Amino acid sequence: MKFLQNKILIGAGCILLAGIFAFAVLPGMYQGKGGTERVIKVSGTVSAGTKIEEAMLTEVEVGSFGLPETVVKEKKDIVGKYARTEITPEDCIVKSKLSDYAANEKLDGILASGQKLVTVTLPSIAAGVGNHLQAGDVISLICYKDDVPMVYEELKNIEVYSIENDAAQDIAEVNAAEEKSDTVAATLTLIVNDTQAKRLVEAEYSGKLHAVFERKGQLQ
């Protein structure tokens, strides 16, 4: 008899808990799922690197359940930013998809000053100063053409933007990732003006280039 009473008490307790869950907990859960918030989305697909303007944006109402904490809800926090990745009208715009720069701060500064980047081939390890060059170094370049070394004024004091291996990978990034420093340089990407770019392209296709280290530069 006592055993039966215990079973009745347990059963009643389960029914009570189920009632509490059904009438107190579940409504709160569904209420949270049914709530909405207004967020900002793009009205059309925006490509990576695009500067976002107010005309590209629209305010929409979406369900608040599962909405990322970093979703952007104000146009002022988006206008003037650059898209890090492609953003579609279906996407919620989160902070990680936005950047203050089209590429990066360093490259944006170079382009804003009217300068450009050009890449040239290193025909040997010696031509790259024995693999000792780093981004930011200032170098001069000697063109070796028809068995004659030629020195041009416009190829003096040029700053190195990056150095790449034969797989076109940035050597500084490769060495940092693999914790080594023995990657051989195959090309140099240089910060130049129009005149320097023209001379370097001519030298690339008509002769060979040899770098001469001058000093450390602004990117160090």
Residue 70 main-chain phi, psi, to 5 deg: -95, 10
In a domain? residue 78:
yes
Residues 95, 109: one domain?
A: no
Same domain, 95 and 123: no
CATH number of the domain residue 59 falls in: 3.90.1210.10
Q: pLDDT of 82-93, one tens digit each?
A: 888 899 999 889
- In the chain, which residue ranges form alpha helices assigned H by DSSP? 2-20, 26-34, 105-112, 171-178, 194-206
Of 71, 99, 127, the last residue of a domain is 99
Q: In the prediction, which pLDDT does 64 show?
A: 77
Please state the pTM of the whole predicted model.
0.59
Domain tally, the chain: 2
Q: What pLDDT is stored for residue 96 in this prediction?
A: 87
Interstrand relation of 116-121 and 187-192 (parallel, antiparallel or unpaired): antiparallel
Which two structure tokens, joined as six digits, stand for 126? 């010696």
Together in a domain, 140 and 204: yes
In a domain, 21, yes or no: no
* Residue 80 lies inside a defined structural domain of this protein: yes
Whether 64 and 153 map to the same domain: the answer is no
Would 156 be classed as within a structural domain?
yes
Question: Is 25 inside a domain boundary?
Answer: no
75, 99, 123: which is the final residue of a domain?
Answer: 99
Do 110 and 210 belong to one domain?
yes
Same domain? For 193 and 134 the reply is yes
Q: Is the dihedral of CA 24, 26, 32, 34 positive or negative?
A: negative
Beta bridge partners of 137: 216
> Is position 185 within any domain?
yes
pLDDT tens for 183-197 read: 789 999 999 999 999
Supply the pLDDT for residue 14: 64
> In the prediction, which pLDDT does 85 show?
85
Q: Is 118 contained in some domain?
A: yes
Q: Any idea what the Cα angle at residue 70 is, between residues 67 and 75, rounded to 5°?
A: 100
At 121 the pLDDT is 94
What is the residue-wise DSSP string for 52-80?
Answer: P-GGGEEEEEEE-TT--TTB---GGGTTT
Taking the CB of residue 77, how many other CB atoms lie within 10 A of it?
A: 13
In this prediction, residue 179 carries a pLDDT of 67
- Both 116 and 189 in one domain: the answer is yes
Residue 2 within any structural domain of the chain: no
Mean pLDDT of 130-150: 91
With a cut of 90, say whether residue 157 has pLDDT above it: yes
Distance CA 133, CA 165 (A): 13
- Domain with 187 in it: 105-216
Of 155-159, 171-175, 188-192, minimum mean pLDDT range:
171-175
Determine which of 2-16, 18-32, 115-129 has the lowest per-residue pLDDT on average. Answer: 18-32
Residue 208 shares a structural domain with residue 124: yes
Cβ within 8 Å of residue 60, ≥6 positions away = 38, 39, 40, 41
Q: What is the pLDDT of residue 34?
A: 55
- Can you tell me the mean pLDDT for 34-44? 85
Contact 168, 89 (CB under 8 A): no
**Residues 43 and 132 placed together within one structural domain of the fold:** no
Whether residue 200 sits in one domain with residue 143: yes
* 40 and 112, same domain (yes or no): no
- 151 and 195 in a single domain? The answer is yes
